[in-house]
């Protein structure tokens, strides 16, 4: 489908809200009708061609007294869902009386199979029926959605001579339409920055980073792909398409099982509907919070892509897990670095790193490919948290296990509802030999193409050429203006506590009963020493501390290891200062201009 057709559909659906709902709903509630009706019409359009076969099967099952009918009816519909009511949606437009329309519309909804009923329940759509009937707008809304001027069907609409009048709407584009509608609704409601959807160009880059490096290792096999913050399922859809395409190029035959979890009812319902429409197992899309209600605790996946919420409190999840200090979930508290309870619990104001740790817990350890992860974060995950705190410990856990392959800084204003800087983390537990023990940082902040028209706060995009440029930087694995390679240890440091003794009135150090100097709390200081400092802690203290405080010593019991990653430090470009001669020349030019002006004024 071309952009013009896509834009026409989005604009048409968006206009339904203004045309039919304006005087009945406040703008923030338009989505309560528009989103479920879009899903219903899409399902309805898919089922239209097999309606007669379904009704014949329904009669046969009823006559035989068979109660459990879903499986047989779905088979007749040739889909993983069905509707056994006597109606298609377009049949209801002829109802003149609101009460007749209401009863028939409810009967139509009741006719959907149980998997669709769950979708309707998550939308809470039945709650809107009385409101629409009382305002006499239900018929108008239905008429709009079955309008012959748009096609929400996966089949093309032909004209009288057999030419395509309206193109088919494939599942991929249907998903993009859902995301665009939700983006607009979020923009209308001023949703917080953490509640946003991932633009397709960013998802495409993430898919490139996950699949292209292992394209030559794809086998005739079944693979799994997981998104623990799945939203409407867009990342899963793109991932599936990309892997199938690569497999075809390599002459391989693969199948892909998609898995996801989503905590927002609306987006879960859309993702679920998308899976049904594609013939996927909708049960693989779970409802609930990934952090406190992990629905796939024992599963491992080949590929994982996510854009978790960032800058968003996870306090409720923490309470469900036992309170921040009582969490024992092994995804977030584990044995590591001689610590039997190595905690990676971040502050409750931002839980984004927990999603990355969740993915790491689901990495395959015994397969040739292992697992690959691509996840979007803001800058907080790079540097928030001091040594020994949860965020720093999470980075230490990832880096010392040699899981972090690449981190890519994206341009600002890449996302619809936030302009903040974002980064793609790429992790693998099967690094190629040249990458082992190293991390590649890629600064892609300048690699962007401006949009002709902003989409929310998104004012730029990653074109195919720019994505290819970023992937070239990744594959070249060289130090240059945009790419830097570092050993893992370059991001670690010791945080050491330096003590100074108290002074008696004669200037002599005070000592305790064992003869050890008594530390002066007012002079206690800390030093941050790079892990790769030549000679380690002792060498640093000898060179950087003792020359200025000869009586200082390190309290070794308080030494901590921390990790942080600074793009600014490694990609900082100092502004070139102008030569003095240039400045003088400019001043003289200004003097000449000023003198001329003064003469003009004096003439007046």
| pLDDT per position as a tens digit, 551-569 | 999 999 999 999 999 998 8
Higher confidence at residue 571 or residue 426?
426
Q: Residue 278: name the closest of 171, 179, 404, 378 by CA.
A: 171
Check residue 603 and give its pLDDT. Answer: 65
Same domain, 406 and 532: no
When mean pLDDT is compared across 210-224, 263-277, 282-296, 554-568, the lowest value belongs to 263-277
Same domain, 81 and 138: yes
**With bands split at pLDDT 50, 70 and 90, how would you rate the model's confidence at 40?**
very high
Same domain, 542 and 435: no
**pLDDT of 598 over the 70 cut:** no
pLDDT, one tens digit per residue, over 392-409 is: 999 999 999 999 999 999
Tell the residue number behind the tokens 């309870």, with chain if given.
341
**pLDDT of 597 over the 70 cut:** no
Residue at 320 is within a domain:
yes
When mean pLDDT is compared across 161-175, 176-190, 368-382, the lowest value belongs to 176-190
Of 471, 490, 509, the residue that ends a domain is: 490
Residue at 423 is within a domain:
yes
Of 155, 189, 222, the residue that ends a domain is: 155
Residue at 593 is within a domain:
no
Check residue 365 and give its pLDDT. Answer: 95
Same domain, 326 and 399: yes
Same domain, 245 and 222: yes
Check residue 409 and give its pLDDT. Answer: 97
Same domain, 483 and 504: no
**With bands split at pLDDT 50, 70 and 90, how would you rate the model's confidence at 200?**
confident
Q: What percent of the chain has pLDDT over 90?
A: 70
Check residue 596 and give its pLDDT. Answer: 65
Same domain, 373 and 512: no
Whole-angstrom CA distances from 415 to 54, 111, 227, 458, 573 are: 43, 39, 19, 5, 25
**With bands split at pLDDT 50, 70 and 90, how would you rate the model's confidence at 486?**
very high
Residue 506 corresponds to which tokens in the numbers above? 């004669």
Identify how many contiguous H helices and E strands the chain contains and give both numbers. 20, 19
When mean pLDDT is compared across 252-256, 323-327, 580-584, the lowest value belongs to 580-584
Helix residue ranges, H only, 457-528: 464-476
What sign has the CA pseudo-torsion 582, 588, 591, 595?
Answer: negative
Check residue 602 and give its pLDDT. Answer: 63
Residue at 582 is within a domain:
no
The answer to whether the beta carbons of residues 408 and 423 sit under 8 Å apart is yes
Q: What percent of the chain has pLDDT over 70?
A: 96
Same domain, 141 and 190: no
**For the chain, what is the mean pLDDT?**
91
Check residue 218 and give its pLDDT. Answer: 95
Higher confidence at residue 186 or residue 485?
485
| Residues 250-270, mean pLDDT to the nearest whole number | 93
**pLDDT of 226 over the 90 cut:** yes
Check residue 344 and give its pLDDT. Answer: 97
Same domain, 135 and 243: no
Residue at 168 is within a domain:
no
The answer to whether the beta carbons of residues 194 and 232 sit under 8 Å apart is no
337: left (phi over 0), alpha (psi -120 to 50) or beta: left
Residue at 141 is within a domain:
yes
Q: Which domain holds residue 528?
A: 492-568
For the domain that residue 367 is a member of, what is the CATH number?
3.40.50.150
**With bands split at pLDDT 50, 70 and 90, how would you rate the model's confidence at 190?**
low
**pLDDT of 175 over the 80 cut:** no
Check residue 193 and give its pLDDT. Answer: 41
Tell the residue number behind the tokens 């490096």, with chain if given.
213
Of 463, 490, 517, the residue that ends a domain is: 490
pLDDT, one tens digit per residue, over 45-86 is: 999 999 999 999 999 999 999 999 999 999 999 999 999 999
pLDDT, one tens digit per residue, over 311-331 is: 899 999 999 999 988 999 999
Check residue 194 and give its pLDDT. Answer: 44
Check residue 420 and give its pLDDT. Answer: 85
Check residue 503 and give its pLDDT. Answer: 82
Burial of 312 (0-12, 13-18, 19+ CB in 10 A): middle
The answer to whether the beta carbons of residues 164 and 53 sit under 8 Å apart is no
| Residues 104-116, mean pLDDT to the nearest whole number | 96
**pLDDT of 188 over the 90 cut:** no
Supply angle C-alpha 96, 100, 102, rounded to 5.
Answer: 110
Check residue 219 and give its pLDDT. Answer: 95
Q: Which residues lie closer than 8 Å to 258 by C-beta, 6 or more apart?
A: 224, 225, 226, 233, 236, 239, 240, 275, 280, 284, 285
Q: In what order do the strands lie in the sheet with 422-428?
A: 285-287, 255-262, 222-227, 303-306, 372-378, 422-428, 404-409, 438-443, 483-487
Residue at 380 is within a domain:
yes
Check residue 1 and give its pLDDT. Answer: 61
Chain centroid to Cα 580, Å, comes to: 49
The answer to whether the beta carbons of residues 276 and 284 sit under 8 Å apart is no
Same domain, 521 and 382: no
When mean pLDDT is compared across 43-52, 149-158, 204-213, 297-306, the lowest value belongs to 149-158
Q: What is the 3-state secondary structure (H, E, C) of 416-432?
A: CCCCCCEEEEEEECCCC
| Residues 93-112, mean pLDDT to the nearest whole number | 92
The answer to whether the beta carbons of residues 412 and 387 sit under 8 Å apart is no
* The most confident of 14-23, 447-456, 498-507, by mean pLDDT: 14-23
Same domain, 93 and 236: no
Same domain, 469 and 509: no
Residue at 83 is within a domain:
yes
Domain count across the chain: 3
**pLDDT of 604 over the 60 cut:** no
Check residue 601 and give its pLDDT. Answer: 63
| Residues 567-582, mean pLDDT to the nearest whole number | 81
**With bands split at pLDDT 50, 70 and 90, how would you rate the model's confidence at 599?**
low
């Amino acid at each position: 489908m071309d952009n013009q057709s896509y834009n026409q559909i989005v604009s048409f659906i968006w206009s339904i809200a203004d045309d039919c709902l304006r005087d009945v709903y406040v703008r923030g509630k338009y989505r309560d009708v528009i989103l479920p009706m879009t899903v219903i019409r899409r399902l309805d359009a898919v089922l239209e061609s097999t309606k007669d076969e379904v009704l014949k099967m329904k009669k046969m099952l009823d006559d035989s007294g068979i109660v459990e009918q879903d499986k047989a009816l779905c088979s007749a519909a040739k889909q993983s869902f069905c509707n056994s009511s006597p109606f298609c949606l377009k049949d209801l437009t002829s109802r003149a009386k609101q009460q007749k329309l209401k009863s028939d519309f409810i009967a139509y909804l009741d006719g959907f199979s149980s998997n669709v009923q769950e979708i309707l329940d998550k939308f809470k759509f039945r709650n809107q029926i009385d409101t629409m009937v009382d305002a006499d707008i239900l018929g108008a809304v239905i008429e709009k959605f079955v309008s012959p001027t748009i096609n929400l069907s996966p089949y093309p609409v032909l004209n009288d001579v057999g030419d395509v009048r309206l193109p088919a709407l494939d599942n991929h584009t249907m998903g993009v339409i859902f995301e665009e509608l939700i983006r607009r609704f979020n923009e209308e409601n001023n949703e917080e920055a953490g509640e946003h959807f991932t633009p397709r160009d960013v998802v495409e880059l993430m898919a490139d980073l996950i699949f292209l490096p292992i394209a030559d290792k794809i086998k005739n096999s079944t693979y799994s792909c997981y998104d623990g913050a799945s939203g409407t399922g867009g990342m899963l859809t793109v991932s599936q398409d990309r892997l199938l395409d690569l497999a075809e190029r390599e002459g391989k035959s693969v199948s892909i099982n998609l898995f996801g979890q989503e905590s927002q009812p609306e987006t879960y319902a859309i993702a679920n509907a998308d899976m049904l429409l594609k013939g996927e197992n909708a049960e693989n899309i779970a409802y609930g919070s990934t952090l406190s209600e992990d629905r796939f605790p024992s599963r491992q996946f080949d590929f994982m892509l996510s854009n978790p919420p960032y800058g968003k409190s996870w306090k409720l999840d923490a309470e469900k897990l036992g309170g921040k200090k009582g969490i024992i979930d092994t995804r977030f508290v584990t044995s590591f670095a001689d610590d039997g309870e190595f905690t990676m619990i971040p502050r409750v104001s931002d839980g984004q790193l927990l999603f990355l740790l969740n993915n790491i817990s689901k990495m395959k350890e015994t397969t040739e490919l292992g697992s690959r992860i691509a996840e979007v974060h803001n800058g907080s995950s790079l540097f928030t948290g001091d040594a020994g705190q949860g965020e720093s410990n999470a980075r230490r856990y990832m880096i010392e296990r040699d899981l972090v392959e690449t981190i890519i800084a994206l341009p600002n204003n890449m996302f619809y509802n936030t302009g903040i800087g974002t980064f793609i983390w790429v992790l693998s537990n099967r690094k190629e030999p040249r990458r082992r023990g190293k991390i590649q940082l890629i600064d892609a902040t300048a690699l962007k193409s401006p949009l002709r028209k902003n989409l929310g706060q998104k004012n730029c995009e990653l074109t195919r050429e720019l994505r290819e440029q970023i992937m070239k930087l990744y594959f070249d694995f060289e130090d240059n203006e945009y790419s830097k390679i570092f050993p893992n240890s370059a991001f670690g440091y010791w945080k050491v506590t330096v003590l100074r003794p108290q002074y008696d009135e004669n200037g002599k150090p005070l000592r305790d009963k064992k003869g050890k100097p008594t530390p002066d709390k007012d002079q206690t200081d800390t030093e941050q020493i790079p892990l790769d400092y030549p000679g380690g802690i002792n060498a640093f203290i000898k060179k950087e501390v003792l020359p200025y405080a000869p009586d200082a010593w390190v309290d070794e019991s308080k030494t901590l290891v921390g990790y942080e990653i600074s793009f600014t430090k490694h990609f900082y470009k100092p502004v070139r200062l102008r030569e003095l001669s240039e400045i003088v020349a400019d001043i003289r030019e200004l003097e000449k201009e000023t003198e001329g002006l003064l003469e003009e004024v004096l003439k007046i």
